[in-house]
Structure 1
Amino acid sequence: MQVTETLNEGLKRGYKLVLSAAELDEKVVGKLKEAQPEVEMKGFRKGKVPLALLRKQFGGRVLGEAMQEAVDGAMSQHFEDSGERPAAEPDVKMANQDWKEGDDVEVEMSYEALPEIPEVDLKSVKLERLVTKADDAAVEEALNNLAESAQDFKDRKKGTKAKDGDQVVMDFVGKVDGEAFEGGSAEDYPLVLGSNSFIPGFEEQLVGVKAEEEKAVTVSFPEDYQAEQLAGKEAVFDCTIKAVKAPAAAEINDELATKFGAEDLDGLKGQIRERLEEEYAGAARAVLKRSLLDDLDGKVSFDLPPSMVAAEAKQIAHQIWHEENPEVEGHDHPEIEATDEHNKLAERRVRLGLLLAELGRKAEVDVTDAEMTQAVMQQARQYPGHEREFFEFVQNNPQMRQQLRAPIFEEKVIDYVVELASVTDKEISKDDLEKAVEALDQD
């Protein structure tokens, strides 16, 4: 096959591939001869069907296969010989659309090549790793928050009116058109006012009730209520208030600790300290990663594939637009144009993405099957009851697998670079760490 370069501007490449009619015919004959020994046809013994008859019977299909194989082979050979790697799937199309059997096959191929990535002396990268310890004050603060989350309710003084946030213990009977309905009654039911766990308008009418008081609450079921026989209907709930209780944080003791899986209070404090320091370490890594990427971005400069930058800028613009317009859930909105700011950010992301990919390729960084399985399992937890369907979806969707693989690969490359870089630890307070993290969002 004859290959002629037609475009070489920056990273843009274009080629014309010509497969002569004689070459194509030779490939077709070769494929037919290869299949001939296994072909059976009425009137002929197995393997004795004449080539001319095979060509008449199967020539059209074999012709298409031979043409595709020739083009694919020429493309593979081109990339092997040139050493180039396309930034995306090459655009391949027939140049002579009016082609007929007996004509040469003319194919046009175009693509954007990945740029040559310059070498980076990773040992010259200097980083500062923030280290924050969980002090006693932070542990106590987290412990108090746990106690509040495990709050109990204690009886208010007799005659005290219920307030929003209080727990009202009551018996109630719900009636529609004077008749009690199924599922509308309960005894000793604990309802926290303001929890919105009952029909809209119900809890508000109980604000101000007292123990031993009877209260008729009138509400209307929503039109889309799940029980069709009640949807849209007015109901009256006869409520007998048995107790009004105020929220109270749980006592901080060994009993609280056992509720959270610890043996005793000291064990719970130890768990809290470990969890806090894991959170601090995660935040510190985010700061370290940004610092590393900033350093690498300043060390390299190379041409970027325009289509990759344009696609990234469009995605950034789309994402930011939805963040600014959260009420729009779908994608039925006007076309969003990328700005200079979006393009600048896209250039940084593409440049760093290509650099990290090259560093990982040279270092033979790999994402293991176990790491992929763990990533899929984490994502599957977002779809309780449909985990199997999600696993099958990922298995049959290469793009989804790549989306899950990419962040794992990136983090492993970051680890590789950090190991080679010059890193010094700096111990700082929790407040200073929070400021460092907040600064990331402001950049």
Structure 2
Amino acid sequence: MDINATKINEANAQITATIMQDEINAKIDKIAKELAKTTSIAGFRKGKVPISAVKKQYGDRLVQDAEAEALREVLSSGLDELKIDNDLLIGEPQISKFDKVDGKIEVEVKVAMRPVIELGEYASHAAEFSKPNITEIAVTDRIQELAKAQAPFVTVEEDRELVDGDTALINFDGFVDGEPFEGGKAEDFSLTLGSAQFIPGFEEQVVGMKKGDEKEIGVTFPENYQGSLAGKPAIFKVKVNEIQMKEKVRMDTELAKKMIPGDENATMDMLKEQVQTQMENEELS
């Protein structure tokens, strides 16, 4: 993992990193191995579940957990390099770049911190200053965005259609020229709609399905797809087993305590004040 940390000014810093896909894969294997000790999957005894079955069952969530762990390592290493303590940070770090290209992830994280300022004879030299106008709505939107990124998945109980952003647990069985092909079948596969995880056109046709729905989806493998399937049309028989979504964000004291770690007396007013300060610093940087 290649990490570079730079101070923009006394109140802001930027951490950039390149995370190789091999590192993410290693973390996926580690998380899946730990999960295999406790999870229960039909057909296997508890504690004896193969890692391959865990990966098939939890798919996208394993990737998300591995990427989140890698991001935490990037932040920790970057702060160490900058010699910045966690208690000097204001608000949550902002992930301004997370691009997956060519077997690696390019990451850029911005952090705001309490500046250490030595005051001298400043009054006679003070320039006219216009404080950025950060609205309460903008602060609330930022808090909800940060909280939603950390929220767990929950099962959708209501009878409704899948929409972009939902996670669907699906069974699928793929056929080319009427014959099944290797790797074209899975059960309880975790697919987040809009993630571009599948062949182009697949996820768009899952949108609108409901729990229990079955459907045949027609797609064409890209010309640059590896192996003998490149450019070939395929039919997937798909069944939706479960719909999941991010847990609804609650703007309350518990959220404030979670987002201001180490402060048991944290309140929403304190959180809003910190986030507003961070956004003001971003405007000034």
Q: Give the number of the structure whose alpha-carbon radius of gyration is greater.
A: 1
TM-score interval (norm. to shorter):
0.3 to 0.5
Q: Which has the higher strand share?
A: 2
TM-score by length of 1: 0.30
Q: Which has the higher helix share?
A: 1
